A = this chain, B = another copy of it.
Protein backbone atom coordinates (compact mmCIF):
# COMPACT_ATOMS: atom_id res chain seq x y z
CA UNK A 1 0.00 0.00 0.00
CA UNK A 2 1.31 3.38 -1.00
CA UNK A 3 -0.03 6.56 0.58
CA UNK A 4 -0.03 9.90 -1.24
CA UNK A 5 -0.29 12.56 1.46
CA UNK A 6 -1.54 15.88 0.16
CA UNK A 7 -0.06 17.70 3.17
CA UNK A 8 3.43 16.51 2.17
CA UNK A 9 3.43 17.15 -1.57
CA UNK A 10 5.86 19.21 -3.58
CA UNK A 11 3.66 22.08 -4.76
CA UNK A 12 4.31 25.00 -7.03
CA UNK A 13 2.34 28.17 -7.60
CA UNK A 14 0.70 28.94 -10.95
CA UNK A 15 -0.52 32.45 -10.24
CA UNK A 16 -2.79 32.06 -7.21
CA UNK A 17 -3.31 28.35 -7.87
CA UNK A 18 -1.24 25.86 -5.89
CA UNK A 19 -0.42 22.84 -8.09
CA UNK A 20 0.95 19.43 -7.06
CA UNK A 21 1.59 17.22 -10.07
CA UNK A 22 1.80 13.46 -9.57
CA UNK A 23 4.92 13.16 -11.72
CA UNK A 24 6.63 13.55 -8.33
CA UNK A 25 5.51 9.98 -7.49
CA UNK A 26 7.35 7.23 -9.37
CA UNK A 27 4.33 4.92 -9.05
CA UNK A 28 2.19 7.37 -11.03
CA UNK A 29 4.37 6.86 -14.12
CA UNK A 30 2.59 3.53 -14.61
CA UNK A 31 -0.94 4.94 -14.31
CA UNK A 32 -3.08 5.03 -17.48
CA UNK A 33 -3.52 8.79 -16.89
CA UNK A 34 -1.63 11.76 -15.51
CA UNK A 35 -2.77 13.42 -12.31
CA UNK A 36 -2.49 16.50 -10.15
CA UNK A 37 -4.01 18.19 -7.17
CA UNK A 38 -4.68 21.89 -7.36
CA UNK A 39 -5.97 24.33 -4.79
CA UNK A 40 -7.72 27.65 -5.48
CA UNK A 41 -8.11 30.16 -2.62
CA UNK A 42 -11.53 31.62 -1.72
CA UNK A 43 -12.69 34.14 -4.31
CA UNK A 44 -10.07 33.02 -6.82
CA UNK A 45 -10.18 31.19 -10.11
CA UNK A 46 -7.94 29.15 -12.37
CA UNK A 47 -6.71 30.75 -15.60
CA UNK A 48 -8.70 29.99 -18.77
CA UNK A 49 -7.50 26.52 -19.72
CA UNK A 50 -7.87 24.50 -22.93
CA UNK A 51 -5.94 21.33 -23.79
CA UNK A 52 -6.23 18.18 -25.89
CA UNK A 53 -6.41 15.92 -22.83
CA UNK A 54 -9.74 14.73 -21.49
CA UNK A 55 -9.85 15.76 -17.82
CA UNK A 56 -11.81 14.28 -14.93
CA UNK A 57 -11.87 16.52 -11.86
CA UNK A 58 -12.95 15.51 -8.36
CA UNK A 59 -13.91 18.15 -5.79
CA UNK A 60 -12.01 17.03 -2.69
CA UNK A 61 -12.64 20.10 -0.50
CA UNK A 62 -14.82 23.17 -0.92
CA UNK A 63 -17.11 23.87 -3.84
CA UNK A 64 -16.27 24.56 -7.48
CA UNK A 65 -18.13 26.79 -9.91
CA UNK A 66 -17.10 25.58 -13.34
CA UNK A 67 -17.36 28.00 -16.27
CA UNK A 68 -17.56 26.33 -19.65
CA UNK A 69 -19.54 26.83 -22.83
CA UNK A 70 -21.06 30.05 -21.55
CA UNK A 71 -22.57 28.49 -18.43
CA UNK A 72 -21.54 28.15 -14.81
CA UNK A 73 -22.13 24.89 -12.96
CA UNK A 74 -21.74 24.37 -9.22
CA UNK A 75 -19.96 21.13 -8.29
CA UNK A 76 -20.00 20.29 -4.61
CA UNK A 77 -17.50 18.36 -2.51
CA UNK A 78 -17.59 14.66 -3.36
CA UNK A 79 -18.85 15.23 -6.91
CA UNK A 80 -16.93 15.42 -10.19
CA UNK A 81 -16.83 17.06 -13.61
CA UNK A 82 -15.44 16.02 -16.97
CA UNK A 83 -13.91 18.22 -19.67
CA UNK A 84 -13.88 16.99 -23.26
CA UNK A 85 -10.81 17.42 -25.40
CA UNK A 86 -10.10 21.11 -26.23
CA UNK A 87 -13.08 22.34 -24.18
CA UNK A 88 -12.21 25.77 -22.70
CA UNK A 89 -12.87 26.05 -18.96
CA UNK A 90 -12.30 28.19 -15.90
CA UNK A 91 -12.73 26.92 -12.33
CA UNK A 92 -13.94 29.48 -9.79
CA UNK A 93 -13.89 29.22 -6.03
CA UNK A 94 -16.93 31.23 -5.01
CA UNK A 95 -16.90 29.76 -1.50
CA UNK A 96 -15.14 30.99 1.63
CA UNK A 97 -12.87 27.95 2.02
CA UNK A 98 -9.99 26.63 -0.13
CA UNK A 99 -11.10 24.59 -3.14
CA UNK A 100 -9.06 21.40 -3.55
CA UNK A 101 -9.42 19.44 -6.77
CA UNK A 102 -7.88 16.15 -7.87
CA UNK A 103 -7.60 15.95 -11.63
CA UNK A 104 -6.88 12.91 -13.83
CA UNK A 105 -6.20 13.59 -17.52
CA UNK A 106 -5.39 11.55 -20.60
CA UNK A 107 -5.23 11.88 -24.36
CA UNK A 108 -8.28 10.76 -26.34
CA UNK A 109 -7.94 7.48 -28.23
CA UNK A 110 -6.13 7.79 -31.53
CA UNK A 111 -4.59 11.17 -30.82
CA UNK A 112 -0.81 11.08 -30.62
CA UNK A 113 0.57 13.54 -28.09
CA UNK A 114 2.39 16.41 -29.73
CA UNK A 115 0.79 15.91 -33.14
CA UNK A 116 -1.70 18.33 -34.69
Contact = CB atoms under 8 A, between A and B. Distances in A.
Interface of A: 1-7, 27, 30-33, 37, 54, 56, 58, 60-61, 66, 68-69, 71, 73, 75-84, 87, 89, 100, 102, 104, 106, 109
Contacts of A1: 66, 68-69, 71, 73, 81-84, 87, 89
Nearest to A61: B78
A109 B32 CA distance: 9
Contacts of A31: 56, 106
Contact of A78 (B6, B76, B80): B6
Contacts of A76: 5-7
Contact of A82 (B27, B32, B82): B27
Contacts of A7: 76, 78-79
Contact of A79 (B4, B27, B66): B4
